[in-house]
Every structure is written in structure tokens, then in C-alpha cells.
Structure 1
Amino acid sequence: MIGCRKMAIALVVLCLISGCSDTGDMSLGNQVVIRVDDRELTLAQFNEYFEATAMSCDDEQTQDRVTMRETRLRFLLQLVEEMIIVRRADDLHLDISPKELDIAMRDIQKNHSEPSFNYLFLKRAISFEAWKERLKTRLLVEKVIRKELLKEVSPTPPEIRDYYAKHWEEWNQGEEIRARHILLPSKEKAKHILRRLESGDDFAALARDHSVAPEAQEGGDMGYVVRGQLPESLEKPLFDLELGDVTPVIKTPYGFHILQAVEKREAGKPKIEECIEKIRDGIQKERLEATYGSWLAGLRSRYRIEINEGVI
């Protein structure tokens, strides 16, 4: 759904791993801020969730009292929407299993070393349990939307073909090269690896064993690269290569690089098969934006909702 998994993980990373604000008078923490039927959110929970989802720590530190109040009110409305949708999850008997939550957490954590991941929580004074609960809620909201709205917003094959006919130029990026990459910390080691490549050693195996680049464990596979994506010092030698050839050792501020051209795609009209996912995502996003409001309004009318914004 709308590249739903990717989108959701991308949103969670942005929203959850930062946050700074004053949690206020905790003696008021038991006051109910939001009630949706029998579900309640206390002020203490609101403050903790606000910490875990603050969009920019630096911005919030410089906000005046009025601006902070507006930020907290916007967050309050977001939580109201979430609680309404979570209430709908009760009706649909939907939940997030421990396995689903674990997979989502590992998807986020794999982009950070364990020390740096843990440091984020220490630096922002975020409760790991609060962060995990926010993640679970976001996943559940996504699951409900997928269940309720997917059929309404999913395009048919004829609609996909029509959209492709009108928009294919959006994905015509010119010549592309699928490249492999080895990054090494020293010139001497890079020259040694280059000699092994010239002697016929396998590029992917050498990348896995010696490269310090992020894609090392994928055999140095960078996927398809278009012009303008890499620094000029790497782009020109790469695009000048014949298939299967490798560049000389190239020095940059990051270290010493060796690139290999694996496949080439000439500029021209992309095949519809290469664009289907992007087309489907685009149509679904447009339709979801058009239908979400009325769907949520329908849910609002089903449940008893109480909001106590005065205490935040």
C-alpha cells in the first residue's frame, strides 16, 4: 500500500528518534487529556509521547511559550486521530504482533550501530518503552488504513497504463550504470586490491572481504547510478568504463575507491514494468489524501471523544 512499509519506516525514523521539551508538572500527570470511548491518554503519557516524537530538538529549544503551545496542540490533534484509528482497530480485531514490532524495530536499528542507537535515547532522554509504544501505534494505524482504504485507492491495470502513458517522462533519467564499489582506507591496500582485480579475482568477493563502504556485504553493489548522483571524481571514470572493467584507484576525502561497471541502461522511454510500483504508489497517495478526511470523519461520529486541551 503506497509503498506502505517503506513509507511507514521512513516516517517512524523521522518522527521517533529525536525530541526535547519540558514535561511540565508531573503532579498533573494522571489527568486525562484524551478519551476515545474507554481508551484514555493521561497528561504524563502525552508528555512522554511528545518527547519521543518531537520533530526537531533544536527548534523546540528556541520556541517561545506561545509557539510551544501551538506545537503541543498540533500534536494533541495528531494523537486524537491516532486514538480514533486505534479504536477502530479494536472493532476490526487488529493488533501488532511481537514479531511485526520486532521486524520494524530491526529495520530502524540496522541503520545505526548499537552504541549510536542507544546514545540517541540517552541524549534525548527518551524512554525506550515510550518510543517502542509509539512505533507500535504507528504500525497499527498503518495496518488499519491499509485494511479500510486499500481497496478504495488501489488503481486497476487500465488506470496504471493510462497514468504511464501520460507521465512516463517523469522516470526517464537518462543513461544508468549498475556499479560495484570498493572503498579502502589506504592507497597501498587499494593498489593491492586493484592488482588482484586485474589478475582476475572476483570483485564482489573482494568487496565483501575488504571494502569499508556501506554496500560491502552486498558485494559492493550500488544498484543503478545516474549522472549527477556521484561526485564528478567518481562519476566520469565510472561512465567511461566498458562493461566489466574497473577504474584505477580514485582518491577522495572518504578514502580510496575502485568502481566496476556491471550493467548499462541507455537513455530512453522506461518500460512500464519498471514504473508500476511508482505509478501505483503515486495514484494511491493521491486517492488516499482525497478519501482520508471523510473516512476519519465517519469514525469520529461513531465514538465518544473527549479532549481536555486546557491541561497541556
Structure 2
Amino acid sequence: MRSRGNPRPARGADPVRGGAMASRGFRHRRIGAFASAALFLLSCSREPPRITDADVVVAKVNGAPVTLQELKAEIASIQGLSPSAVSKGTAPEVSQALRRLVERSMVLQEGVRQGISVTESELEEEVKRYRSDFPPGGLEKTLLQQGIGMDEWRSRMRQSLLYRKSAEAVAGRLAEVTEEEVRRAWRERPRRTSPPEQILVRQLMFDTEESALRVRERILAGDSPDKAVLKGSGEGPAPAIADLGYLSREDLPRELSGELFALPAGGASRVVRRDKSVSIFLVEGRRESREESFEEAAPQIREELLRAKREEGFRGWMEGEMARADVKIQEAILAELTEGKR
């Protein structure tokens, strides 16, 4: 008889290997349970990603997003504040800021169509120009106070340059000025004098009023300025002499211009006391004004006409683009941003 107990394993079975496999299967299940629990705990402890103003889209212009960060920065520009200080704006401010951003987006989109870009050298030149208005480290300090990082500021600078180049490209192809238009404008404009009337002035500066009066008397008596200075100074110090060159009425103090321009060439002014100094001004030559010729006036006239035509053409282009643009606005976000609205 077969003894009772554990049944014999089936033919071909390996009891040791079978137990090991069972044990390993248990370990796999146990490790899997631990991993699931760890992942669950990790997912519970992880905070949701923080949404910033740069992530919030307030409008789309032909599919291109306009962010809340951009809108707040534009409102700050209108209010004359730093972007970090702005949380809301009046209804007109919000409306004006959004319109600016929509128009800017359309100009930038046109720039992309025309293949316009900003090179690194152009960006660096613009950054250098801005830095020149600040002492060393002053730009970084100002940006820090406004809550703007250097990378963000450079990005804004690049966008500003790109907008400028794109706008110039749009306006440039819409404007042309002919020679006849320039001549007609020249005939219709008041005649200008070029250059304005000028006098050649020399200033004699004395230690005392008595020395100045003696020299002036000798000049009025017919002595040359050099001879008058030599005789009139006596044993005292010679006056300091400054050649001021050709000056217009606008270059001189108001109290002197009328007197000096009334003098003939070779004339001497009265003795003038200014800032603890005593002076005589000599008029040594004169340049009369004359009418500006067409050749002299043409470059400025052409530029003025071209600027006006570009502005008019750009406005017309923008009106047409605004009429055709697909603009979608998140009104609820704008309402929250507007003062006095809930």
C-alpha cells in the first residue's frame, strides 16, 4: 500500500524549483505592492504646478497667444508703474493695453511672413545703448527693483526690436515720395533762412571795470583791439581773451544778443558785469542770412513727407488687418483685471 502523506510530485516536476518560483512570485507581488504604495504617497505629496501670469492666455490673435503677463506689463506702461506693482487697471486702461498688444501681435506676424529677424549683434547694440544711460550696475539694480530678470528683459528687448523692424518694413513698402511732391511742398512752405544771421565775437575779460573802460575808449577812438589792450591796460594785468566764433542770436544771452547784433563789424559793447567778471564783447565780423535753396531744403522736406506717408499708410494697413483678424478674448479674465468689476 502507498503510504499517506504528501503526494508524490508528478513525473517531470521539480519540487525545489517549483517552491523557489512560488517564493519568487510572492516577492514580486510584495515588491509591486510596495512600489504602488510609494508612488501613491509620492503623488499625494507632490504639489500641483504653480500657474503664473505667463501661463494665462487672455486673448488669441490669429492663433497667437497674448498672455496676462504681457497685458499687465502694458497696463503698467500706461500707468507709469513697474509691472510688479500692477494688479488691476481701469476699463479704458485695460482696453487700450489689449488693443496695443493685438496690434503688436499683427505687426510681428507680418514680420514673420516677411522673414524679418533680430540678430545677436543688433540685440547687443541695443543693450549697450540702454546700459550707457546707467552707471555701472545701475541697469541690473533698476530691473531688480521692478521685479524683472535680465533674461526676461533681454527677451522683451528682442521683441521690441523685432516689432520696430517689422513696423518699418510694413510702412516702408506703403510710402513713396516723388520729386514733384518735394518741389510742391518747397513752394508752399514759408522760406527759411540758412544759415541764420551770425556775428564773429571776441570777449575781453578784465580784473577791474576801470581797465575795461580805458580799453573800450581807445577802441571807440579808432585803435585796434590789440593796440587798445596794450595801451589801456597800463601797468595792470592784460585781459584774458576768448574767441567765441560765429554766434547766432539764439547762442547769446538775451540781454546781449540785441546789443551785439546792432553793432557794426569792429564795434565794441558796453562794459558788462556778469558772475563777478568784467567784460567787453567785440564784433569782428558778420555773416548775413540768406534764403534756403531748394537743394538745401529738399532732403528735410522729403523726409517729412515720407514720414507722414508712412504713418498714414501704416494706419490704413492696421485698420485693414484689424478688420480681417481672428481675435478671441477671454472676457472673464479681463473683467477680473478691471477695477470696479467682480
TM-score (norm 1): 0.56
Residues 271, 107 of structure 1: CA spacing in aligned structure 2 closer, same or farther, 3 A cutoff? farther
Match of residue 127 from structure 1: 148
1:281 maps onto 2:312 in alignment: no
Match of residue 34 from structure 1: 59
Match of residue 16 from structure 1: none
Match of residue 83 from structure 1: 105
Residues 147, 56 of structure 1: CA spacing in aligned structure 2 closer, same or farther, 3 A cutoff? same
Matched position secondary structure for 2:97? helix
Match of residue 165 from structure 1: 187
Match of residue 15 from structure 2: none
- 2:72 aligned to 37, 47, 58, which one? 47
Equivalent position amino acid for 1:155 in 2: V
- How much does 1:80 deviate? 0.9
Equivalent position amino acid for 2:97 in 1: F
- How much does 1:40 deviate? 1.7
Cα distance in 2 for partners of 1:250, 1:115 equals 42
1:298 maps onto 2:320 in alignment: yes
- How much does 1:103 deviate? 2.7
- How much does 1:306 deviate? 2.2
- How much does 1:136 deviate? 3.2
Matched position secondary structure for 1:41? strand
Cα distance in 2 for partners of 1:283, 1:47 equals 36
1:155 maps onto 2:177 in alignment: yes
**Number of equivalences:** 241
- How much does 1:86 deviate? 0.2
After superposition, where does 1:1-312 map in structure 2 within 5 Å? 30-51=55-76, 53-54=77-78, 56-57=80-81, 68-110=90-132, 112-115=133-136, 118=139, 121=142, 125=146, 127=148, 129=150, 130-169=152-191, 171-172=192-193, 175=196, 177=198, 226-228=248-250, 231-232=253-254, 266-300=288-322, 303-308=325-330, 310-311=333-334, 312=337
Contact 2:131 2:139 in 1 (8 A): no
Contact 1:33 1:307 in 2 (8 A): yes
More deviation, 265-274/93-102: 265-274
Residues 291, 131 of structure 1: CA spacing in aligned structure 2 closer, same or farther, 3 A cutoff? same
Contact 1:168 1:269 in 2 (8 A): no
Equivalent position amino acid for 1:94 in 2: I
Cα distance in 2 for partners of 1:115, 1:179 equals 42
Cα distance in 1 for partners of 2:312, 2:295 equals 27
Residues 57, 32 of structure 1: CA spacing in aligned structure 2 closer, same or farther, 3 A cutoff? closer
- How much does 1:272 deviate? 2.8
Contact 2:194 2:291 in 1 (8 A): no
Contact 1:31 1:42 in 2 (8 A): yes
Cα distance in 2 for partners of 1:294, 1:88 equals 15
Equivalent position amino acid for 2:111 in 1: A
Equivalent position amino acid for 1:44 in 2: Q
Q: Indicate the RMSD between aligned Cα atoms, in angstroms.
A: 5.0
Matched position secondary structure for 2:116? coil
Unmatched tracts of structure 2, length 5 or more: 1-50, 202-206, 208-238, 276-280, 338-342
Residues 179, 302 of structure 1: CA spacing in aligned structure 2 closer, same or farther, 3 A cutoff? farther
Contact 1:174 1:226 in 2 (8 A): no
Match of residue 204 from structure 2: none
Unmatched tracts of structure 1, length 5 or more: 1-25, 181-186, 188-193, 204-220, 253-258
Contact 2:74 2:97 in 1 (8 A): no
Matched position secondary structure for 2:65? strand
Work out which structure has the larger RCO, using CA pairs closer than 8 Å and 6 or more positions apart in sequence. 1
Deviations 1:157-206 (A, max 9, x none): 2211221111143x4477255999xxxxxx9xxxxxx95967xxxx9xxx
